[in-house]
Amino acid sequence: MKTNINNLGSLIKIANTLIEKELNLRMNKLFAEYNLTGPQVTLLIYLYEAQERPVSQKEVETVFFLSHPTTRSIVKRLTSKKLIISNPSDKDRRQMILQLSKEGNKFINTNITTIYHNMDQINQKITHNLTESNQGQLIANLQQIINNFQD
């Protein structure tokens, strides 16, 4: 099948939208009482996996390629749900340091297996009918696209 290069960006956007909808649907269904979105759960997992070190809001923006307002919005929502704590850095008061709250730690510890399982299911859906070789090529191609925009 010949791919029209003009459609490439649209196809990537459509795939991203479908993946994000699936993640949001699953997370909202699992954690309805918290009304969590996929990006919010992703940030909680990131903070959980980085508990041994300080994580700045700027780091989150950089790692996830998010704008400052988008990151700030996610942080405010998670703070209002009492799942994370945001405090100014001791070294630079302009930098906000993020960490899981006691409630956030309890939430993640209780649900980490379920969250990882659902993320694995989404990854399986993404790669369904792709050989291991095609999966590796897909990852390499996506990484190259990301790199192309970092120059």
Q: What is the pLDDT of residues 26-74, one digit of tens each?
A: 998 988 889 999 899 999 999 999 988 999 999 999 999 999 999 999 9
Beta strands in the chain (DSSP E): 55-56, 84-88, 96-100
> Does the pLDDT at position 76 exceed 80?
yes
In 3-state terms the chain splits into helix, strand, coil percentages (rounded to 5) of 70, 10, 25
CATH architecture of the domain with residue range 5-148: Orthogonal Bundle (1.10)
Arithmetic mean of pLDDT, 93-106:
94
Q: Residue ranges of the domains in the chain?
A: 5-148
What 8-state DSSP symbol labels residue 112? H
pLDDT at 151: 65
> Does the pLDDT at position 5 exceed 80?
no
> CB pairs under 8 A, 24+ apart, for 120-127?
121/26, 122/19, 122/22, 122/23, 122/26, 125/22, 126/19
Task: For residue 3, name the pLDDT band (cuts at 50, 70, 90).
Answer: low
The vertex-97 CA angle with 32 and 67, nearest 5°, equals 70
Task: For residue 8, name the pLDDT band (cuts at 50, 70, 90).
Answer: confident
The mean of the pLDDT values for the chain is 93
pLDDT at 93: 87
Token representation of residue 136: 């590796």
pLDDT at 4: 66
> Does the pLDDT at position 85 exceed 70?
yes
Residues 6+ apart with CB under 8 A from 45: 108, 112, 115
> Does the pLDDT at position 122 exceed 70?
yes
Question: In whole angstroms, what separates CA 76 from the centre of its chain?
Answer: 16
* pTM exceeding 0.75: yes
Q: Quote the percentage of the chain above a pLDDT of 70.
A: 95
What 8-state DSSP symbol labels residue 33? T
Give the least confident one: 1-15, 32-46, 64-78, 86-100. Answer: 1-15
Burial of 78 (0-12, 13-18, 19+ CB in 10 A): buried
